[in-house]
């Protein structure tokens, strides 16, 4: 069941999809400039009509979550969304709900059906009209519960809003209502099933589940499968909504049809080669909250080929860690953008990783660099760039191409904190 496609968009020719996305892009950029003060400012020198390709998109600035927070704090009295939303209330009405994520960062929810685009992921996980979905995501402050509920309603499912906590009450509700589907975190479903066992309550109605919000290891997938539950995962953020989803093939996560995804080198806006790990940057086609090149702060990589289920969109490997590897060394903050700046200064450098080891207060900093060639004095020149950029001294270790792991890390803190 979970291999069936939600609609024809999922199986369209990849070239047709790319043409459609690039055709929609300049209009979204123009809309963001007109409808939001933040993008009117950051893109003021950009001709929206010229942003018709991925290379043109890559020339635009990346907006990261800490910048959203800073904008919102600065404009709290006049615009809680920091000038990034095209909708709100009062004179700029249109928002159905407003959510608060940690920070606090406020996000608007528009009135479109399946606003967060979760129905496609649910359909891929086998959810169908008439299912009763036990929803254990929070329905307060953060949008996770509402995200899943709106997707379930778009598929004509019925929802039990269990929320978080109240484990024993939720177990009794499962026994009474016998839901056949679950949404929430994988760890909480395991807690619910183990609590049911402790209480001697039969809660065997669940057949399928869709998870988000945390890792879903293969061991837990097997554990649930042994109990008759076919479970999948999707990747979403409170700012963008759903970005990618798992299919019956279980080979990565298929990208959403309503977003343009780039993988960039952490700390920069520069796209990496296909297959290389980097930060997920997303441009949404949502007119209500038109985020252009939003840096999720999460690491992933594009997978080659197509999904065996017949879906033709690109796939990512899933969540692979955080891109913000900023750390403090000898009282100074060092961040990935500085490592990227050092790399740009030396044409011989292919890739770099700044490693801190030893004990705190007696730590050592080493810049490990893959180089294409080794002219005399290169290590010394690179060490000089490190001092200039970071204001810190560092050893430099020259390595042959391919020596550093493909994990997206530009900074590794291996110090002992005993």
CA angle, 84 as apex, 336 and 42 as ends, to 5°?
Answer: 60
Q: Which of 103-107, 108-112, 302-306, 414-418 has the lowest average pLDDT?
A: 414-418
| Pairwise pLDDT comparison (13 vs 321), residue with the higher score | 13
Q: What is the mean pLDDT of residues 96-105?
A: 93
Residue 81, number of CB atoms within 10 A of its CB: 25
Q: What is the mean pLDDT of residues 11-31?
A: 98
pLDDT at residue 2 is higher than 70? no
Strands (E) in 31-122, as ranges, are: 63-64, 97-101, 105-109
pTM of the model: 0.85
Question: Using one digit for the tens of pLDDT, what is the confidence trace for 372-405?
Answer: 999 999 999 999 999 999 988 999 999 999 999 9
Measured distance CA(379)–CA(357) in Å, rounded: 19
Question: Using one digit for the tens of pLDDT, what is the confidence trace for 281-308?
Answer: 999 999 999 999 999 999 999 999 999 9
Measured distance CA(331)–CA(354) in Å, rounded: 16
| Pairwise pLDDT comparison (4 vs 210), residue with the higher score | 210
Measured distance CA(67)–CA(90) in Å, rounded: 25
Q: Write the DSSP symbol of residue 222.
A: H
pLDDT at residue 84 is higher than 50? yes
Q: What is the mean pLDDT of residues 156-177?
A: 95
Task: Output the pLDDT for position 1.
Answer: 38
Q: What is the mean pLDDT of residues 11-17?
A: 97
Q: Write the DSSP symbol of residue 61.
A: P
pLDDT at residue 41 is higher than 90? yes
Q: CB neighbours of 184 closer than 8 A, spacing ≥ 6?
A: 134, 135, 136, 137, 148, 162, 209, 211, 213
Measured distance CA(167)–CA(136) in Å, rounded: 10
CA nearest neighbour of 315 among 401, 369, 256:
256
Give CATH superfamily name and number for 327-413. Answer: ANL, C-terminal domain (3.30.300.30)
Strands (E) in 36-151, as ranges, are: 63-64, 97-101, 105-109, 132-135
Strands (E) in 61-207, as ranges, are: 63-64, 97-101, 105-109, 132-135, 158-161, 181-184
Question: Using one digit for the tens of pLDDT, what is the confidence trace for 171-195?
Answer: 999 999 999 999 999 999 999 999 9
Write down the domain spans for the chain: 327-413
How many whole angstroms from its chain centre is CA 203?
33
């Amino acid at each position: 069941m979970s291999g069936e496609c939600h609609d024809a968009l999922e199986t369209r020719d990849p070239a047709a999809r790319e043409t459609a996305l690039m055709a929609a892009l300049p209009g979204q950029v123009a809309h963001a400039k007109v409808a939001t003060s933040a993008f009117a400012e950051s893109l003021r020198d950009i001709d929206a009509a010229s942003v018709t390709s991925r290379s043109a998109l890559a020339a635009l600035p990346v907006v990261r979550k800490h910048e959203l927070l800073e904008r919102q704090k600065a404009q709290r009295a006049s615009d809680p969304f920091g000038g990034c939303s095209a909708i709100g209330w009062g004179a700029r009405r249109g928002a159905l709900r407003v959510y608060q994520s940690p920070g606090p960062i406020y996000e608007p929810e528009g009135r479109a059906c399946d606003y967060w685009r979760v129905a496609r992921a649910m359909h891929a996980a086998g959810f169908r009209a008439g299912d009763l979905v036990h929803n254990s995501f929070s329905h307060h402050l953060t949008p996770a519960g509402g995200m899943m509920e709106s997707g379930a309603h778009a598929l004509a499912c019925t929802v039990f809003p269990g929320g978080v906590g109240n484990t024993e009450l939720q177990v009794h509700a499962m026994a009474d209502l016998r839901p056949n589907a679950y949404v929430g975190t994988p760890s909480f479903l395991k807690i619910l099933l183990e609590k049911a066992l402790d209480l001697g309550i039969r809660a065997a109605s669940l057949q399928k589940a869709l998870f988000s919000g945390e890792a879903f290891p293969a061991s837990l997938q097997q554990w649930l499968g042994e109990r008759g539950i076919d479970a999948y995962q999707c990747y979403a953020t409170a700012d963008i909504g759903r970005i990618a989803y798992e299919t019956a093939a279980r080979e990565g996560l298929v990208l959403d049809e309503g977003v343009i995804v780039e993988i960039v080198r952490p700390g920069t806006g520069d796209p990496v080669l296909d297959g290389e790990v980097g930060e997920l940057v997303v441009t949404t086609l949502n007119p209500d909250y038109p985020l252009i090149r939003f840096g999720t702060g999460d690491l992933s990589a594009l997978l080659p080929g197509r999904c065996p289920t017949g879906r033709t969109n690109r796939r990512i490997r899933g969540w692979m860690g955080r891109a913000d590897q900023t750390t403090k060394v000898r009282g100074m903050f060092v961040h990935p953008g500085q490592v990227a700046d050092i790399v740009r200064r030396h044409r011989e450098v292919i890739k770099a990783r700044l490693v801190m080891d030893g004990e705190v207060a007696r730590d050592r900093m080493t810049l490990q660099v893959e180089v294409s060639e080794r002219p005399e004095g290169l290590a010394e020149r690179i060490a000089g760039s490190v001092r200039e950029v970071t204001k810190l001294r560092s050893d430099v270790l020259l390595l042959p191409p391919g020596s550093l792991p493909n994990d997206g890390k530009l900074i590794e803190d291996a110090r002992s904190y005993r």
